[in-house]
Amino acid sequence: MSSLKKSDKKAVLDFSAWSFNITTSVGIIMVNKALMATHGFSFATTLTGLHFVTTTLMTVVFRWLGLSQPSQLPLPDLIKFVIFSNLSIVGMNVSLMWNSVGFYQIAKLCMIPASCLLEVVFDHVHYSRDTKLSIMVVLIGVAVCTVTDVSVNAKGLIAAVIAVWSTAFQQYYVHFLQRKYSLNSFNLLGHTAPAQAGSLLLVGPFVDFLLTGKRVDHFNFSSLALFFLTLSCFIAIGVNLSQFICIGRFSAVSFQVLGHMKTVLVLSLGFLFFGKEGLNLQVVLGMILAVLGMMWYGNASAKPGGKERRSVLPVRSEKHKGDSEEKIGAEK
């Protein structure tokens, strides 16, 4: 009976973590769309730097309140994580600029097989046939409803490759560092967010100028643009925290596969709020196929042998393991 209660509790916490991530991720996409498309704030890299500033402030407040325990992360690991993360952010922005939207979407889909390969190589994870097939169904479904025009050039291909692999390594590293150093999501964010905020605010304006030809310090803020910028920064706290929680609880592959629910929701909300242009039978069928694939993946990977780790990474210590995420329903 106690084991049943424990499994029920884990299911509730898992659902809460996914709901937290999906809600904040979809919310920030809609807010950023209004900020960039409607109010003209097109400085995506600088905006991400501001997101990490507010996330840093959140970690400071939580530490002050005693909700996050002191922890350590070796400097070499921190540097590698920040390099992967910043390359991912800049790479995705550059890839979107230099490639067609269709090829950009294909590159994003390639993150799932890349993440699978990292888990197989470094963690010796074995996937069952049903799990592999369910991932393929998700990829096909998302491709059907998002990929339209596809054109590629040499520099765009290089940017896409950098974006895919840096993102895959960043998300793998989130899970790896939490296991290796017994860090919860608050601890890991407390180490990484300040470094990312400082580095992105340093290089962000130059990257944005390269991509847009505009200077962020010349942008004229209206009251509404400032409102959406502030709202975006606050929602980003939830996005960054929920990403670390979900990857820590599951894996980078599960985060990528089930995370495409956000793609389906964003498409649906876009058609609902911004007009039905582009909505057709192909898009609807693609969304349905993607959702069915996600449901299949969740069922297949949860079965015995569906997704097995053949080796266990030794954990350094449990003494730094905080209990703050238990309070918000996000820790095992």
48-62 per-residue burial string, b: 16 or more CB within 10 A, e: under 16: bbbbbbbbbebbeeb
Cβ atoms of 151 and 211 closer than 8 Å? no
Distance of CA 312 to the CA centre of its chain: 24
Q: Per-residue DSSP letters for 104-150?
A: HHHHHHTHHHHHHHHHHHHH-EEE-HHHHHHHHHHHHHHHHHH----
For residues 93 and 211, what is the distance between their CA atoms, to the nearest angstrom? 8
pLDDT attached to residue 83: 95
E strand or H helix at 307, and its extent?
Answer: strand 307-309
Least confident stretch, 138-142, 216-220, 264-268: 264-268
Domain residue spans of the chain: 17-309
pLDDT tens column, 250-260 = 777 888 887 77
Cβ atoms of 295 and 260 closer than 8 Å? no
pLDDT attached to residue 186: 86
For residues 52 and 48, what is the distance between their CA atoms, to the nearest angstrom? 6
- In the chain, the N- to C-terminal Cα span, in Å, equals 18
**What torsion do the CA atoms of 55, 111, 297, 242 make, to the nearest 10 degrees?**
0
Q: Mean per-residue pLDDT for 169-186?
A: 90
CA distances in angstroms from 22 to 15, 48, 122, 184, 245, listed in the order given? 10, 18, 28, 20, 12
For residues 232 and 226, what is the distance between their CA atoms, to the nearest angstrom? 10
Distance of CA 80 to the CA centre of its chain: 18
- In the structure, what pLDDT confidence band is assigned to residue 249 with cuts at 50, 70 and 90? confident
pLDDT tens column, 74-102 = 999 999 999 999 999 988 888 877 877 77
For residues 232 and 140, what is the distance between their CA atoms, to the nearest angstrom? 31
Cβ atoms of 306 and 134 closer than 8 Å? no
pLDDT attached to residue 277: 59
CA distances in angstroms from 65 to 16, 69, 236, 239, 324, listed in the order given? 23, 10, 21, 21, 11
pLDDT attached to residue 318: 44
Of the segments 29-43, 136-150, 279-293, which one has the largest average pLDDT value? Answer: 29-43
pLDDT attached to residue 330: 40
For residues 178 and 321, what is the distance between their CA atoms, to the nearest angstrom? 9
Give residue 146's identity as a one-letter amino acid code. Answer: T
- In the structure, what pLDDT confidence band is assigned to residue 234 with cuts at 50, 70 and 90? very high
SS3 84: helix
